[in-house]
């Protein structure tokens, strides 16, 4: 039995300690990360009241199956990302610890304003992490949009507060029917807009290209897996547990998310660099997951969250490593790179195929479940559009893989002599990461219950599950 507060408190404490003991900062980082992984796995369903005020007046932390599922993924991918890119940590361990605390807080909190605070802390650490590659223009863009988004979110929850007088999530959910329709529309729009900035929904996500597209191995892995997981899981919690949408507003939001994943995949299709491709692919996937959440299919959405987090962790870490060690991530210049680094290539390929959703990989289960459940709720356009965008997604991933594995000019036999002169360093850590996650994806492909267990536990507790 572990108190969920520790998941937030330990990294935060270690962050302060790492400022004081600068020499030991990396050790503290490792300790906190390991503790959090362990704690996330040991966490049981519980609810903790902070500061002696009972909810709905005080702040409480909720660890239900939903947040435990998110926490396990979040902390695992965070730890894997930190360990595999340990050489890039440098002076950033304090920031990493703070971001870990804030992300865990986002997953756990049961209070809308507290969520805002953790969101801001996570964003501030993300701004700092995004300066790792010295692309300050992207960072500045991110700061402006992130701050604007958080303020919109704040405005939204305050409007709700002034009408129903509570900020507690559970309390809000029970009182939401009291709110006047117009006020609710105003508030939900602001909340949606605010969260859409963090959850990378179009057109709120102008920062993604500059930040994701310029990430290195560490920040790429953390942004694309840990941050994306936390943001989208909170999006899911707000729009499935607290506010249940219906009518025109749902149609509008669904249109936005569907357009996000189609346009995101199309934009990814037009990119030449691996990281930009992956960035737009993340946008598309966020749109897909948000669509599933908005359609009321939380279970499938959670499965896809796991799939996406694992796949993007491997792919972004490797793409970032390409940028760090080879100096470029242009596909044309890196032809045949995986010929040199076969194990890394194996992990990357498995991740890509799973994300595309080809059979015998985990992603295929997600796709089947998503489509059949969408058919069950009489939605026929969304499945067709999902298939269409996943066709585009498949095409650019296959194009990428074909070039990275097989060097050669068009029209000539694939030969070693075309292989890129560039290569990666520090390959051991990346290879371990790639193999471990690749094998894990293969494992859950044959044994999907491993992931779906937690989800079905969660769904059995709420009405209208799978």
Query: Within positions 198 to 257, which residues make up the interface with another protein, using CB under 8 A?
Result: 202-210, 213-214, 245-249, 252, 256
Residue 377 CB, nearest approach to another protein (Å): 10
The answer to whether the CB of 159 falls within 8 A of the CB of 174 is no
SS3 121: helix
Q: How far, in whole angstroms, is CA 68 from its chain's centroid? A: 15
| Helices of type H across 58-111 | 65-84, 93-108
Q: Which is nearer to another protein, 40 or 145 (CB)?
A: 145
Neighbours of 375 (CB within 10 A): 12
Look at residue 67 and give its three-state secondary structure. helix
Q: Which is nearer to another protein, 33 or 267 (CB)?
A: 267
Max CA-CA distance within the chain?
Answer: 73
Residue placing its CB nearer to another protein in the complex, 83 or 418: 418
CB of 371 to another protein, least distance (A): 5
> Which of positions 262-291 make contact with another protein (CB under 8 A)?
263-264, 266-273, 276, 280
Taking a C-beta distance cutoff of 8 angstroms, is the pair 127, 142 a contact? Answer: yes
Q: Which is nearer to another protein, 378 or 449 (CB)?
A: 378
The full DSSP string for 398-428 is HHHHHHHH----TTS---GGGS-S---SSHH
- In the bound state with another protein, the residue whose beta carbon lies nearer, of 152 and 314, is 152
Please report the DSSP string for 374-389 in residue order. Answer: HHHTT--HHHHHHHHH
Is 54 a binding residue for another protein by CB under 8 A? The answer is no
Residue placing its CB nearer to another protein in the complex, 245 or 442 = 245
| Position 327 contacts another protein (CB under 8 A) | no
Cβ at position 435, least distance to another protein in Å = 16
Q: How far is the CB of 172 from another protein (least distance, A)?
A: 14
**Which positions from 6 through 25 interact with another protein, judged by CB under 8 A?**
none
Q: Dihedral sign, CA of 80, 86, 90, 94?
A: positive
CB of 64 to another protein, least distance (A): 25
Task: State which of positions 410-449 bind another protein (CB under 8 A).
Answer: 410-416
DSSP 206: T
CB 158 within 8 A of CB 117: no
Restricting to residues 380-409, name those near another protein by CB under 8 A: 380, 383-384, 387-388, 390-392, 394-395, 398-399, 401-403, 405-408
3-state secondary structure of 65: helix
Residue 299 CB, shortest distance to another protein, in Å, is 16
Which residues are 62's β-sheet partners?
47
Task: Determine the size of the site formed for another protein (CB under 8 A).
Answer: 113
Residues 6+ apart with CB under 8 A from 457: 65
Q: Compute the least distance from the CB of residue 270 to another protein, in Å.
A: 3
- Which stretch in 36-44, 181-189, 218-226, 430-438 sits in contact with another protein by CB under 8 A? 181-189
For 258, residues 6+ apart whose C-beta sits below 8 A from its C-beta are 287, 291, 382, 385
Residue 248 beta carbon to another protein: minimum distance, rounded to whole angstroms: 5
Cβ atoms of 170 and 110 closer than 8 Å: yes
Residues within window 105-164 making contact with another protein, judged by CB under 8 A: 113, 116-117, 120-121, 123-124, 127-128, 131, 134-141, 143-148, 150-152, 154-155, 158-159, 161-162
Contact stretch for another protein (CB under 8 A) within 34-42, 188-196, 295-303, 426-434: 188-196
Closest alpha carbon to 301 in 136, 100, 451: 451
Q: Which of residues 329-348 bind another protein (CB under 8 A)?
A: 330, 339
Residue 123 tokens read as 């964003």
188 binds another protein (CB under 8 A): yes
Residues 346-385 that bind another protein (CB under 8 A): 353, 358-360, 364, 367-368, 371-372, 375-376, 380, 383-384
**Which two three-digit tokens encode residue 261?**
């994943």
| Shortest reach from residue 421's CB to another protein, in Å | 17
């Amino acid at each position: 039995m572990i108190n969920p507060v520790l998941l937030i408190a330990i990294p935060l404490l270690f962050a302060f300690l790492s400022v004081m003991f600068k020499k030991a900062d990396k050790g503290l980082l490792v300790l906190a990360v390991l503790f959090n992984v362990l704690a996330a796995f040991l966490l049981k369903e519980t609810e903790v009241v902070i500061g002696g005020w009972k909810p709905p007046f005080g702040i409480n932390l909720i660890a239900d199956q939903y947040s435990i599922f998110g926490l396990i993924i979040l902390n695992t991918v965070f730890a894997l990302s930190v360990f595999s890119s340990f050489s890039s940590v440098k002076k950033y361990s304090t920031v990493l610890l703070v971001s870990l605390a804030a992300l865990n807080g986002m997953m756990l909190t049961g209070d809308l304003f507290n969520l805002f605070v953790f969101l801001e802390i996570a964003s501030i650490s993300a701004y700092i992490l995004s300066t790792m590659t010295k692309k300050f223009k992207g960072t500045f863009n991110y700061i402006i949009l992130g701050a604007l988004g958080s303020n919109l979110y704040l405005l939204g929850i305050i409007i709700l507060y002034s009408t129903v007088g509570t900020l507690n999530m559970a309390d809000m959910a029970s009182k939401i029917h009291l709110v006047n329709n117009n006020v609710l529309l105003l508030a939900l729009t602001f909340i949606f807009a605010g969260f859409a900035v963090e959850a990378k929904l179009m057109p709120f996500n102008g920062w993604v290209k500059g930040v994701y597209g310029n990430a290195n191995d560490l920040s790429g892995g953390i942004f694309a897996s840990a941050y994306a997981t936390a943001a989208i899981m909170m999006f899911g919690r707000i729009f499935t547990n607290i506010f249940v949408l219906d009518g025109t507003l749902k149609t509008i939001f669904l249109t936005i998310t569907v357009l996000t994943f189609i346009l995101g995949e199309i934009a990814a299709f037009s990119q030449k660099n691996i990281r930009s491709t992956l960035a737009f692919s993340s946008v598309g996937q966020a749109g897909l997951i948000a669509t599933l959440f908005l359609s009321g299919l939380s279970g499938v959405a959670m499965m896809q969250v796991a799939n996406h987090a694992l796949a993007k962790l491997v792919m972004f870490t490797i793409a970032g490593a390409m940028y760090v060690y080879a100096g470029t991530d242009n596909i044309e210049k890196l032809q045949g790179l995986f010929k040199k680094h076969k194990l890394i290539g194996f992990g990357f390929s498995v991740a890509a195929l799973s994300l595309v959703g080809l059979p015998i990989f985990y992603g295929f289960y997600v796709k089947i479940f998503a489509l059949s459940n969408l058919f069950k709720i009489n939605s026929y356009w969304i499945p067709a559009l999902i298939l269409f965008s996943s066709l585009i997604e498949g095409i650019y991933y296959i194009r990428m893989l074909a070039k990275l594995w097989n060097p050669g000019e068009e029209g000539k036999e694939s030969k070693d002599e075309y292989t890129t002169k560039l290569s990666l360093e520090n390959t051991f850590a990346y290879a371990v990461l790639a193999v471990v996650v690749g094998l894990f994806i293969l494992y859950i492909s044959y044994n999907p219950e491993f992931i779906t267990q937690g989800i079905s536990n969660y769904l059995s507790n709420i009405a209208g599950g799978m």
